[in-house]
Amino acid sequence: MKAIIYDKKSAGEQLTLQDADKPMPSENQVLVKVHATSVNAADYRSMKMGLIPKSKIFGADVAGTIEAVGKNVKNYFVGDKVVGDLSAVGFGGFAQYVAADERAFVLKPQSVSFEMAASVPMAGVTAYQALIKGNIQPGQKVLICGAGGGVGTFAVQLAKHFQTEVTAVCSTNNVSIMKQLKADHVINYHTESFTEKGEQYDLILAINGNYLLSDYKKALSPQGTVVIVGGSLSQLLKSMLLGKLLFLGSEKLMNLSAKTSTSDLHKILKLIESGVVIPIIDRRYPLDQTAEAVKYIQKGHAHGKVIINIE
């Protein structure tokens, strides 16, 4: 099969299209012919941290068709269309085929395309778990910083689904997308700052942006909650080390460590199937241009998700 193999020692491009052995499913695994995969920060962050999959193939989100099943597989049959997050079972999505534990997958709703399905697992589930961790309640005022990316575009729509008043913080390029997603207010961080508005929010999702923890604290209503989802490594470290000290009052600061969850994935796919959530796809690349797709995401200004379509 063709796959994107990572070579740390390469003097040139580290992610290149190569021939690789088609995997054989073990007894609890399914072999999936991958139709679409999407790129996540987890791909380039794992590369940077030296966390390299055994197969040397990155790619967590996959949507495809089951081509073979191991002898103990109970829930799937050849021909089933599935979607899953492989980040906890060795990655491997940037390839024509991947073998992984059947428990990593859910059935893809028929009306949801492969590329839409492939956009959901990491970003959608992270957005959902961040809102749940922040105990989102109808009627709350929710601020979403970093609303324009993969996680953010799902978070805005899910927060609206929870019947909250959503303020999205993004760049000029993402303002029209936020309006399309029905954010109630949009703050373009190129021209204004949420820190200067004097507004207070019940829940803040810190997905991206160069804000200080004290900025979030100032913008929180009493008893409000900040959920730190992402940002630079130094921001994440600061929130872990200093967050508890700074947020000693009634406001809360929490760090999210999203977990793969087929149950949460299933919920979001159902919302997509019913038209409540629409995955926002920024760019599509063929498999042989995966390195370009990863570089694009790494620049940090995607408008939604970046998909790799695999023939």
Ligand X SMILES: NC(=O)c1ccc[n+]([C@@H]2O[C@H](COP(=O)([O-])OP(=O)(O)OC[C@H]3O[C@@H](n4cnc5c(N)ncnc54)[C@H](OP(=O)(O)O)[C@@H]3O)[C@@H](O)[C@H]2O)c1
Q: Which residues bind ligand X (CB under 6 A)?
A: 40-41, 45, 122-123, 126, 145-146, 148-152, 169-171, 173-174, 189, 207-210, 229-231, 256-258, 297, 300-302
Residue 100 dihedral angles phi and psi, to the nearest 5° = -150, 160
Query: Least CB distance from residue 92 to ligand X, whole Å?
Result: 18
Of the pair 31, 277, the CB lying nearest ligand X is at 277
CB-based closest residue to ligand X: 149
Of the pair 53, 209, the CB lying nearest ligand X is at 209
Of the pair 66, 122, the CB lying nearest ligand X is at 122
Of the pair 151, 166, the CB lying nearest ligand X is at 151
Query: Least CB distance from residue 26 to ligand X, whole Å?
Result: 28
Query: Least CB distance from residue 275 to ligand X, whole Å?
Result: 22
Query: Least CB distance from residue 261 to ligand X, whole Å?
Result: 12
Of the pair 5, 125, the CB lying nearest ligand X is at 125
To which residue do tokens 């079972």 refer? 89
Of the pair 28, 193, the CB lying nearest ligand X is at 193
Do the Cβ atoms of 89 and 30 come closer than 8 Å?
Answer: no
Q: At what angle do helices 290-298 and 41-48 cross, to 10 degrees?
A: 90
Query: Least CB distance from residue 127 to ligand X, whole Å?
Result: 8
Query: Least CB distance from residue 3 to ligand X, whole Å?
Result: 23
Query: Least CB distance from residue 213 to ligand X, whole Å?
Result: 15
Of the pair 29, 119, the CB lying nearest ligand X is at 119
